[in-house]
């Protein structure tokens, strides 16, 4: 039995589907029964639980062989994931694969970067047969920009920086391999897309696919911060996103690896493939 947290998210939902296709028993952890509808339709068991709830999450991981650990990097996520690791280990789960963030470090300018580094260390000292999947930015983040893209613009403080962003389906494919095949314990993998692209490249691709103009408009840090807090985003989260834009602008997120292809046998999907598959969201 493989337990998948965040089972209704972009990575988790793809992972549930891929595991079920190859016949693995899956228990999908969601926060509400409604969030488990898609996983249940694939034949997965559904467990409604918060990862910090010792009783509910303990029941969710009972009898499991492996756990895929992924929850949103929102305030409190470090304590939440530490609790999940402790509960899983107490329940006898031997194999834990955790989704981390590429470039995480105790010295990161982003709180979630520091948090992921702390969690990587915590998992590695837990006694589990662990694997860390350190992924770069997700293509699916552009779905969160769909409103502005439909109005013809992408606004971010990333300058001319290029980023090797990745399709969540490729992260899920690597997770499926590391959860079901031997030889991946006590290893970390750096997951990226097939190339580093700039936001102007993203805009050009969307322009071509949509048949109408989409422009990339670089903004300064203060403008980006004001826009996000003005939309109701908490200040700490806006600070992190602005800091991430600065990392992108400086070119620090352009690293490209072949880990996706090496582990799955398939080349990582391009942004054009992702955009074509999700074109309706931008139309």
pLDDT tens digit sequence for 80-93: 999 999 999 999 99
Position 245 scores a pLDDT of: 94
Domain of 11: which CATH number? 3.40.50.720
Gyration radius of the chain's alpha carbons: 19
Give strand ranges (E) for 138-243.
153-156, 162-163, 187-191, 197-198, 215-218
At residue 74, the 3 state secondary structure works out as coil
User: Is residue 209 included in any domain, yes or no?
Assistant: no
Residue 75: pLDDT over 80: no
Residue 3: pLDDT over 80: yes
Residue 72: pLDDT over 80: no
Mean pLDDT is highest, among 47-61, 185-199, 217-231, for 185-199
Query: Which of 137, 203, 210 has its CA nearest to residue 170?
Result: 137
* pLDDT tens digits, 260-281: 999 999 999 999 999 999 999 9
Average pLDDT over residues 63-72: 92
User: Is residue 109 included in any domain, yes or no?
Assistant: yes
Q: How far apart are CA 18 and CA 168, in angstroms?
A: 12
Residue ranges making up the domain that contains 12: 2-136+168-191+256-268
Name the domain count of the chain: 1
- Name the phi and psi angles at 218, rounded to 5: -65, 135
List Cα–Cα distances, 40 to 24, 35, 281, in angstroms. 14, 10, 25
Q: How many beta carbons lie within 10 A of that of residue 58, not counting itself?
A: 14
Total-model pTM: 0.95
User: Is residue 15 included in any domain, yes or no?
Assistant: yes
User: Is residue 243 included in any domain, yes or no?
Assistant: no
User: Is residue 148 included in any domain, yes or no?
Assistant: no
* pLDDT tens digits, 152-164: 999 999 999 999 9
Our measurement of the distance from residue 275's CA atom to the centroid of its chain's CA atoms, rounded to an integer in Å, reads 17
User: Under the phi-then-psi rule, with left for phi > 0, alpha for psi from -120 to 50, and beta for the rest, what region is 229?
Assistant: alpha
Position 52 scores a pLDDT of: 86
Position 271 scores a pLDDT of: 98
User: Is residue 50 included in any domain, yes or no?
Assistant: yes
Q: What is the mean pLDDT of the chain?
A: 95
User: Is residue 161 included in any domain, yes or no?
Assistant: no
Residue 239: pLDDT over 80: yes
**Residues of the chain above pLDDT 70, percent:** 100
User: Is residue 69 included in any domain, yes or no?
Assistant: yes
Q: How far apart are CA 108 and CA 255, in angstroms?
A: 17
């Amino acid at each position: 039995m493989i337990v998948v947290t965040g089972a209704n998210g972009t990575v988790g939902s793809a992972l549930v589907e891929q595991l079920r296709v190859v016949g693995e028993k899956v228990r999908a952890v969601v926060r509400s029964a409604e969030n488990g509808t898609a996983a249940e339709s694939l034949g997965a068991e559904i467990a409604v639980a918060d990862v910090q709830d010792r009783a509910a999450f303990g029941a969710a991981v009972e009898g499991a062989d492996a756990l895929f650990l992924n929850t949103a990097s929102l305030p409190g996520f470090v304590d939440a994931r530490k609790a999940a690791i402790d509960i899983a280990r107490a329940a006898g789960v031997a194999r834990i694969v955790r989704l981390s963030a590429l470039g995480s470090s105790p010295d990161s300018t982003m709180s979630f970067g520091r948090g992921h580094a702390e969690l990587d260390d915590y998992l590695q000292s837990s006694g589990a047969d662990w694997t860390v999947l350190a992924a770069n930015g997700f293509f699916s983040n552009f779905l969160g920009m769909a409103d502005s893209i439909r109005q013809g613009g992408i606004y971010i403080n990333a300058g001319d920086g290029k980023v090797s962003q990745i399709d969540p389906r490729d992260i899920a494919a690597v997770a499926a391999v590391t959860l079901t095949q031997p030889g991946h314990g006590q290893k970390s993998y750096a997951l990226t897309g097939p190339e580093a692209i700039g936001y102007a490249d993203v805009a050009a691709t969307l322009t071509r696919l949509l048949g109408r103009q989409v422009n990339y408009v670089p903004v300064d840090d203060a403008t980006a911060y004001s826009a996000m807090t003005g939309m109701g985003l908490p200040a700490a989260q806006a600070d992190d996103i602005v800091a991430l834009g600065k990392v992108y602008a400086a070119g620090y997120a352009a690293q490209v690896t072949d880990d996706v292809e090496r582990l799955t046998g398939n080349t990582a999907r391009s942004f054009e493939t992702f955009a074509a598959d999700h074109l309706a969201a931008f139309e």
